[in-house]
Chains A and B, each alone.
Chain A
Amino acid sequence: MKRKVFLFTSTALFILINLFLPTEEAHFVWERLPIFNVIFGFLGCILIIVVSKTIGKCLQRDENYYD
């Protein structure tokens, strides 16, 4: 519960900051979305964990596999 409150308030706070952030430095359209970096950081991290763990199911072996 605490985590959810923290998540939503911080997301809202950052979107609010992003609304006033000058974005002429952004190179691509999606970077101008006020929510982009928040979503990308959060989902990107989850994506990395999930994809790696899935690949890991095929690649991981017992510790003394090579011995």
Chain B
Amino acid sequence: MRITMIEAVHPALFYIIGSLILPIVKRRPLRDIFILTIPILSFLQVLQLPEGQVWTIKILNYYLLPLKVDRLSLVFSYVFIIASFTGFVYALHVKTQGEHISALMYVGGTLGVTFAGDWITLLIGWELMAIASVFLIWYRRTPGALKAGFRYIMVHLVGGTLLLAGIALHVGSTASTTINRLPCEGFSAYLILTAFLINAAVPPLHAWLTDAYPEATVTGSVFLSAFTTKSAVYILLRVFPGAEILVWLGTIMALYGIVYAVLENDIRRLLSYHIVSQVGYMVCGVGLGSPLALNGSAAHAFCHILYKALLFMGVGVVIEGTGESKLTKLQGRNLYRELPFAFYLYMIGAFSISGVPLFNGFISKTMVVTSAGEIHRPLVHLLLHLASIGTFLHTGLKLPYGTWFGKAWDRNKKKESRSLRVPLNMYVAMAFNAALCVAIGIYPTVLYRLLPYEATYHPYTLYSVVTTIQLLLFTLLAFWMFLGQLGGEAKVSIDTDWFYRRGADLFFQFCISSDAIRSLGQRWMERLVMFASTFARNPWSLLTPAYGKAKKIASYDPDEYRQAIGVGIALFLALFSLLLGLSMNIR
């Protein structure tokens, strides 16, 4: 007998209502049980949802479909809920209620996007994700996190606005709110695509990710790594399958992350660049568009969420224990003696992301790469193989070597030998994810059965296993030879966020300097008037210079930035009216 009441609840509502109740559940064991019950209930609910079920609500002549169940939304919802469960286990020791509340809201928004059947529900989930997730960055409570959080939310609000504009144009012209596959042409489709590409972190629109994720709280970055980019991949799979532009964007993306990862010193930022790289495979798979490629994208998203969360958990343990996140600070500490379990569990994630046979990355990544071969795209095939090499090089070799072993970068550094205390629940969550990575790697059928499209694929053939092992072994060899040059450097690499981080400064400077020109003119005119006025003075004062000379007092000037801000607002208004005019012409 089924419980009819539970059957009628949207899976996202468990999280959203849970996040509203959580503030009054403060007592520790009760709170922990409450948090962990939410994903379990939601998962049970999703298991009961029949395929093809659709809820329809009519509001103001528009049909909203807040729940639309099909194979694609189901496979993504399973992994989102699993990831939230392990994420909450990992974060269980965190006392700040606000962090749990925002994480719950964030997952709720993601599930809202996953089950959305119409554009308006999608938009609500989209914005909820952006707003809830920024608190996972701000709760780090460092100046860097505050600033990065502001940049993060600004980029996502721009993305949300583009999505809203695209949806408004699309719904206005077709009079249908249902999410369907869109041809990649026309202004509204471009706006919607751009919004999706921002969330998928496709270069050059990716910098929000690598900027903000390393600044988030230790437990927050585990959540962040799972949801935003993968929900974007999901919606790309639904709306733009087979769009040719995605093939190349995805391939470039896979390599872009690799190049930056070589230069990176911050361990979480290195992993963030590998999110960009791995999502590249998925975006490429969406673009390739064959059933195998689309299945590959979905499967790779599924596996990626599990192993990437595991990797972030592993380095999270290091940051929690040592307080350091830079390779230059960690090298030579020989952390292996202090945190061996974190190393072993991290390595399971590292083997998974590198696509080592018997780990889950192997059974999903090869699907995308093989499909590129099957529909005869030699360059894409070759470049994706190259990206796999880079993945193993950094995540599998450079990062763990530098973090847990490695030669001291600074030889004068004293050996610290304080014992590192890391909460047990962090290890439990890691073990759970590691077990899933290995289980899916050994028995891939369990995942393949869930995939949305009709395609058969067998990962474990003699040819693919032997060639993969060769590729990885010789990468290891090259790493070994270049070991001396692969240590971290205490530097930052400028990325496309330079344009808005430095650009904002330059814009402000421009507004001030435009004011400076005006005030220069004013000063000269004042001097002229002052000079002229001397002729109108008491003639006696010309002979006694002390007369009439009052000292000027430097003090607060309320007008200092008035002109600059005025110019800024004027420019924004001009841009806004230009866009308004353009959009009216388009309609």
Task: Give A residues with C-beta under 8 Å from B.
Answer: 3, 6-7, 10, 14, 17-18, 21-23, 25-28, 31, 37-49, 51-53, 55-56, 59-63, 65-66
Residues facing A in B474-519 (CB within 8 A) are 474-475, 477-482, 485-486, 489-495, 501
- Nearest A residue to B490, CB-CB: A63
CB-CB < 8 A to A27: which residues of B? 370, 373-374, 376, 378, 381
Residues facing A in B456-484 (CB within 8 A) are 461-464, 466-467, 470-475, 477-482
Nearest chain A CB to B245 CB, angstrom units? 23
From the candidates A41, A46, A47, A55, name the one contacting B471 in the complex (CB within 8 A).
A41
Interface stretch of the complex, out of B1-9, B69-77, B197-205, B386-394 = B386-394
Instruction: Tell me whether B463 and A23 are in contact (CB under 8 A).
Output: yes
Instruction: Tell me whether A44 and B492 are in contact (CB under 8 A).
Output: no
Instruction: Tell me whether B501 and A66 are in contact (CB under 8 A).
Output: yes
Nearest chain A CB to B191 CB, angstrom units? 30
Instruction: Tell me whether A42 and B482 are in contact (CB under 8 A).
Output: no
Instruction: Tell me whether A45 and B381 are in contact (CB under 8 A).
Output: no
From the candidates B370, B393, B470, name the one contacting A45 in the complex (CB within 8 A).
B393
Given contact pairs A25-B461, A49-B482, A62 touches B491 in the complex (Cβ within 8 A): yes
| Main SS class of interface, A | helix
The contact string, 1 if C-beta is below 8 Å from chain A, for chain B 314-343, is: 000000000000000000000000000000
Nearest chain A CB to B142 CB, angstrom units? 12
Task: Give B residues with C-beta under 8 Å from A.
Answer: 258-260, 262-263, 370, 373-374, 376, 378, 381, 385-386, 389-390, 393, 461-464, 466-467, 470-475, 477-482, 485-486, 489-495, 501
CA gap between A21 and B374 in the complex, in Å: 20
Given contact pairs A41-B470, A66-B492, A49 touches B262 in the complex (Cβ within 8 A): yes
CA gap between A66 and B306 in the complex, in Å: 33
Instruction: Tell me whether A60 and B389 are in contact (CB under 8 A).
Output: no
Instruction: Tell me whether B376 and A17 are in contact (CB under 8 A).
Output: no
Instruction: Tell me whether B478 and A38 are in contact (CB under 8 A).
Output: no
CB-CB < 8 A to A56: which residues of B? 262-263, 493
- Nearest B residue to A25, CB-CB: B463
**Interface pairs (15), CB distance under 8 Å:** A21-B466, A22-B463, A25-B464, A26-B463, A27-B373, A38-B474, A42-B478, A45-B478, A48-B386, A52-B258, A52-B263, A55-B259, A56-B493, A60-B489, A63-B490
CA gap between A7 and B492 in the complex, in Å: 34
CB-CB < 8 A to A14: which residues of B? 470, 473
- Nearest B residue to A3, CB-CB: B481
Q: Which 7 A-B pairs have the closest CB atoms?
A: A27-B373, A41-B474, A52-B262, A45-B478, A41-B471, A42-B474, A37-B470
Given contact pairs A22-B462, A37-B467, A42 touches B475 in the complex (Cβ within 8 A): yes
Instruction: Tell me whether A10 and B462 are in contact (CB under 8 A).
Output: no
Instruction: Tell me whether B493 and A60 are in contact (CB under 8 A).
Output: yes
- Nearest A residue to B377, CB-CB: A27
CB-CB < 8 A to B470: which residues of A? 14, 18, 37-38, 41
Instruction: Tell me whether B376 and A48 are in contact (CB under 8 A).
Output: no
Nearest chain B CB to A19 CB, angstrom units? 12
CA gap between A61 and B213 in the complex, in Å: 20
CA gap between A61 and B494 in the complex, in Å: 7
Given contact pairs A45-B389, A52-B259, A28 touches B378 in the complex (Cβ within 8 A): yes
CB-CB < 8 A to B259: which residues of A? 48, 51-52, 55
From the candidates A6, A21, A48, name the one contacting B262 in the complex (CB within 8 A).
A48
Nearest chain A CB to B388 CB, angstrom units? 9
CA gap between A52 and B256 in the complex, in Å: 10
CA gap between A38 and B475 in the complex, in Å: 9
CA gap between A31 and B378 in the complex, in Å: 11
Instruction: Tell me whether B385 and A40 are in contact (CB under 8 A).
Output: yes
Nearest chain B CB to A39 CB, angstrom units? 8
Instruction: Tell me whether B480 and A3 are in contact (CB under 8 A).
Output: yes
CA gap between A46 and B475 in the complex, in Å: 8
From the candidates B373, B472, B485, B494, name the one contacting A65 in the complex (CB within 8 A).
B494
CB-CB < 8 A to B260: which residues of A? 52
Nearest chain A CB to B350 CB, angstrom units? 16
Instruction: Tell me whether A60 and B263 are in contact (CB under 8 A).
Output: yes
CB-CB < 8 A to B374: which residues of A? 27
Instruction: Tell me whether B494 and A59 are in contact (CB under 8 A).
Output: yes
CB-CB < 8 A to B479: which residues of A? 45
From the candidates B262, B389, B489, B494, name the one contacting A41 in the complex (CB within 8 A).
B389
Given contact pairs A53-B485, A56-B263, A48 touches B472 in the complex (Cβ within 8 A): no
CB-CB < 8 A to A26: which residues of B? 463
CA gap between A56 and B376 in the complex, in Å: 33
Best-buried of A14, A38, A42, A61 by chain B (most CB within 10 Å) = A42
CB-CB < 8 A to B477: which residues of A? 6-7, 10, 41-42
CB-CB < 8 A to A42: which residues of B? 474-475, 477-478
Best-buried of B389, B390, B467, B492 by chain A (most CB within 10 Å) = B467
CB-CB < 8 A to A37: which residues of B? 467, 470-471, 474
